[in-house]
Amino acid sequence: MNPLDKPYAQLALAVLAVLVLPLFLKSGILATEILIFAMVVAACNLLLGYTGLLSFGQGIFFGIGTYAAGICLTRWQIPVPVVLASAAVLGAATATLVGWLSIRRQGVYFVMLTLAFSQLFYFVAYTFSGVTGGDNGLLGVPRPSVGGTALNAPWSYYTYVAVCFVAVFAILVMVTQSTFGRTLLAIRENEGRAAAIGFPTKLFKLEAFAISGAVTAFGGALHAMLIGVAPLSNIEYHTSELILIMTIIGGSSSLFGSVLGAGFYLLLADALSTVWPRWLLLLGLVLVTVALFLQRGLWGLVERGYDLVFRRERAPETPAEEH
Amino acid sequence: MTDIALQTRGLGVKYGNFHALAEVDLQIRRNSVHSIIGPNGACKTTLFHALTGRVRASSGRIELDGRDITDTSDDDRVRLGIARSFQVTSLFPNLALRENLRLAAQGRTPWQALAPWRRAEANAEALAIADEVIERLALAPVSNRLAGELSHGQQRRLEVGMAMAARPRVILLDEPTSGMGIDDIEAMKQLIRDLGRDHTVLFIEHNMGIVMNISDMVTVMRLGRKLVEGPPAQVRDDPEVQRAYLGNMITGDIA
Ligand SMILES: Nc1ncnc2c1ncn2[C@@H]1O[C@H](COP(=O)(O)OP(=O)(O)OP(=O)(O)O)[C@@H](O)[C@H]1O
Ligand SMILES: [Mg+2]
């Protein structure tokens, strides 16, 4: 195993990312957005990389968290930590429901089901505009306050999110290292065998969904406070797609790969959008390149780089993973 | 408790409209080595699928130690004491050999593994079982290699080890020697005989040398039904069996 894949190395890299972003970025908003998506993408990775479940439902949970924050903070003055916790619980509950119905089918049909739920929840949010604000979303979502002062400056909210990010990332590292996480890997590898040696595999998949949903909704709530709006776009199918793309770019074999994936995508999108209005086209080309030449994502690149620099003897090629 | 560990009555399995297994009555004595033989397509593997709960019985009932387990799920049956190996090797290829066995040992108490904060190493018992099985199968030199990188013979041994690590009362082995070299076959024969001391062993085998040597009881199947059953010597000389095998497969001698 590459030393960079060790749990403490992963955690150290996450802390490093938090410290390095302010040095290189002018925009505190962008830096905060990167951290929010980094945890959301890592949660998607728990399903894709560790459990082998390609879920198009991540946008649902993100949107649920966004609305939970929007509704709680604009209608009632509930303290932010309570809002974040409720968003996570609601996200876990929704993910359990979506997961419970989706894991009844495998492969393409599973993916189809999560996609269908993603559309369904979008239309529900669109239809019940009395609650969600419909197309306009919920405006005027306040930032949290610490010690009586609202964190309205971008970098002070960044600090708040950074603390949340490191905590969430540490939890996800713990989950993947636990006997639970290692059982997920076994289920991804060979579900039939996992069942034959006694694991109720559906229950494990459900729990993975619940954890993933909790983190994703938590991130969605942080996002609403970042941009001051709970927009309809956060629960759109497009958000699910975005999260999945970041996960795949980052590489699904490591949690920190997800941080790289989120950072890479958002920074590139930011840079390209100032260069050319049709920047999505360029982004498409980048994605094609990654899919063709970087099957293990950016993390695979990091691992190879590490081996080149620190190890004389060539590590044996790991076979490309199929997704 | 009765002397019978595992018993079926009128067991049948359907694949769609195809009646694969039908009317199978089996009585497997505790701590015996019971083998199932029969030509390809005789539904031997299907019988194992039904016994372990991988496929549902369409008729009949299955009892483990007198308890009806016909509707019990496959993972629940592991906890009740049934474990199996597969004819087509089924491992976790990208996990280390030792991790494969640790998982198999953990599978007996899966609820523990639902706690996302509990470390795998905290289950010292599972690790000890894994190491014991590694020792017994002489796989120590490769215990840290990925299962997918092992030689065929090593993978076949690990396949049997996966069943042993569950500490079952009844162990089902589906063609454990398939594709093995001569030396490995001999070792496997010893192992199965040893397993019979403290487990009930049910195994499917095409190698008649092994079947005739170490079985207490042999059941011959054909076209999804039980053809003949009895001690090895009796089965070998049965004219029906000779015909089912066209006389050319029973070659092994009784040592
Ligand atoms: N999943 C399935 N769906 C439909 N038919 C199946 C399925 N599995 C097995 N069969 C059929 O059931 C019959 C018995 O198959 P089975 O694998 O149980 O035989 P077997 O006795 O184990 O044979 P072998 O000695 O070749 O392993 C075969 O005709 C096979 O084609
Ligand atoms: Mg078979």
- The answer on pLDDT for B245 being more than 80 is no
Interface-testing mutation among B114, B118, B155, with chain A (most A C-beta atoms within 10 A)? B114
- The answer on pLDDT for A17 being more than 60 is yes
Helix A28-45 vs helix A58-75: angle between axes, to the nearest 10 degrees? Answer: 130
Pairs from B205-209 (Cβ < 8 Å, separation ≥ 24): B205/B35, B205/B36, B205/B37, B205/B175, B205/B176, B205/B177, B206/B37, B206/B175, B206/B178, B206/B249, B207/B177, B207/B252, B208/B37, B208/B236, B208/B249, B208/B250, B208/B251, B208/B252, B209/B251, B209/B252, B209/B253
In this structure, of A56-60, A98-102, B120-124, the range with the lowest mean pLDDT score is: B120-124
In A, which residues are within 8 Å of B93 by CB distance? 189-190
| Protein residue with least CA distance to atom 1, ligand 1 | B15
What is the nearest CA distance from A29 to chain B, expressed in angstroms? Answer: 33
Read off the pTM: 0.89
- Asked, for residue A118, whether it belongs to a domain, the answer is yes
- The answer on pLDDT for A318 being more than 70 is no
What is the nearest CA distance from B245 to chain A, expressed in angstroms? Answer: 31
Domain with CATH 3.40.50.300 in chain B: 1-81+168-255
- Average model confidence (pLDDT) across chain A: 88
The CATH number of the domain holding residue A85 is 1.10.3470
What is the nearest CA distance from B111 to chain A, expressed in angstroms? Answer: 8
Whether ipTM > 0.90 holds is: no
pLDDT at A75: 87
- Asked, for residue A62, whether it belongs to a domain, the answer is yes
Q: Which of B95, B122, B166 sits opposite A198 (nearest CB)?
A: B166
- The answer on pLDDT for B219 being more than 70 is yes
- The answer on pLDDT for B33 being more than 90 is yes
Ligand nearest to the CA of B44: 1
Position with higher pLDDT, A310 vs A12: A12
Q: Count Cβ neighbours within 10 Å for each residue of B43-60 and write b for 16 or more, e otherwise.
A: bbbbbbbbbbbbbebebb
- The answer on pLDDT for A16 being more than 90 is yes
pLDDT at A312: 56
In this structure, of A5-14, A267-276, B107-116, the range with the lowest mean pLDDT score is: A267-276
| Protein residue with least CA distance to atom 8, ligand 1 | B46
Q: Which position has the token pair 């069996």? A: B241
- The answer on pLDDT for B249 being more than 60 is no
Is B122 an 8 Å CB contact of chain A? Answer: yes
- The answer on pLDDT for B251 being more than 50 is no
pLDDT at B2: 66
Question: What is the token pair recorded at B21?
Answer: 């297994």
Whole-number percent of chain A with pLDDT over 90: 53
Confidence of residue B254 (pLDDT cuts 50, 70, 90): very low
How far apart are the CA of B235 and the centre of ligand 1, in A? 23
Homologous superfamily of domain range B1-81+168-255: P-loop containing nucleotide triphosphate hydrolases (3.40.50.300)
Is B75 an 8 Å CB contact of chain A? Answer: yes
Count of the separate structural domains present in chain A: 1
Q: A198, B118: Cβ pair inside 8 Å?
A: no
pLDDT at A224: 93
In B, which residues are within 8 Å of A195 by CB distance? 54, 74-75
How far apart are the CA of B107 and the centre of ligand 2, in A? 24
Position with higher pLDDT, B167 vs A275: B167
Indicate the burial class of A140 (C-beta count within 10 angstroms; 0-12, 13-18, 19 or more): exposed
- The answer on pLDDT for B255 being more than 50 is no
**Could you report the per-residue pLDDT of A124-183, keeping only the tens digit for each?**
988 888 888 788 888 888 888 887 787 778 888 999 999 999 999 999 999 999 999 999
d(CA A216, CA A119): 17
Scanning every residue of chain B, which has its alpha carbon at the shortest distance from the alpha carbon of A200? B75
pLDDT at B1: 54
pLDDT at A316: 52
Q: Domain range spanning residue A107?
A: 7-267
pLDDT at A66: 94
Is B18 an 8 Å CB contact of chain A? Answer: no
Confidence of residue B93 (pLDDT cuts 50, 70, 90): very high
